[in-house]
Amino acid sequence: MPMPAHETMSSDGGKCCAVLELAVRNHPGVMTHICGLFARRAYNVEGIACMPTGDGSSSRAWLMVNEDERLDQVVKQVEKLHDVIEVRRHEGGHPVFGGLEPYFRS
């Protein structure tokens, strides 16, 4: 049975509280732009799911991240990326990662 989103655990044992839903342009390199931004701000992305939408010219990316005091700033920086069309923030999680949970059982 899928774990409820708010019980999704992060690598350090803390609860992941925020899920970001990004509408992005779909081309090779867009994930590097997004993941690189988090990486160089030492902000861990706990989970990623990304699939093309519609005609394939754009994608939807789901990021599971820790909710800490830097999240506002990092979201503003994500919004500045040229390939990011929109960012929606789901506080308190989102079921999307719970649905993937069966594929991540050891």
Partner 1 sequence: MFRMTGAEVLIRLLERQGIQTIPGIPGGANLPLYDALSRSPVIRHVLARHEQGAGFMAQGMARVTGKPQVFFATSGPGATNTLTALADAKLDSVPVICITGQVPRSMIGTDAFQEVDIYGMSIPATKHNFLVRSVEELLTVIPEAFRIAASGRPGPVLVDVPKDVQCAEVAFASWPEPGLPATPRDMPAGDLIRAAEMINSSKRPMLYLGGGVIQAGAAGAARAFAEKGGIPTVMTLMGLGAIPSDHPLSLGMLGMHAAPCANLALEECDLLIAAGVRFDDRATGKVEQFCPGAKVVHMDIDPAELGKIRPAQQALVGDVGQALQGLLPLVEDRPNQEWLDRVQALKQEQPMRLGDAKEVRSAYGLIFEAARLAGPEAVVATDVGQHQMRTAQAYPFRTPRRWLTSGGLGTMGFGLPAAIGASMARPDLPVICFSGDGSLLMNIQEMATAVEQHANVKIVLMNNNALGLVRQQQELFYEGNLFASSYGCCVDFVRIAEGFGMRAVNLDTSADPAAEMARAFDHPGPCLIHATVDAAQNVYPIVPPGAANKEMLKGEEYADACA
Give the residues lining the site for partner 1 (CB under 8 A): 27-29, 32-33, 36, 40, 72-73, 76-77, 79-83
When the beta carbons of 72 and 91 are compared against partner 1, the nearer one is 72
Q: What CA–CA distance (Å, rounded) separates 56 from 102?
A: 27
When the beta carbons of 16 and 84 are compared against partner 1, the nearer one is 84
Number of separate helices (H) and strands (E) present in the chain: 3, 4
CB of 40 to partner 1, least distance (A): 6
Cβ(5)–Cβ(94) below 8 Å: yes
When the beta carbons of 5 and 34 are compared against partner 1, the nearer one is 34
32, 2, 8: which is closest to 93 by C-alpha? 8
CB of 26 to partner 1, least distance (A): 13
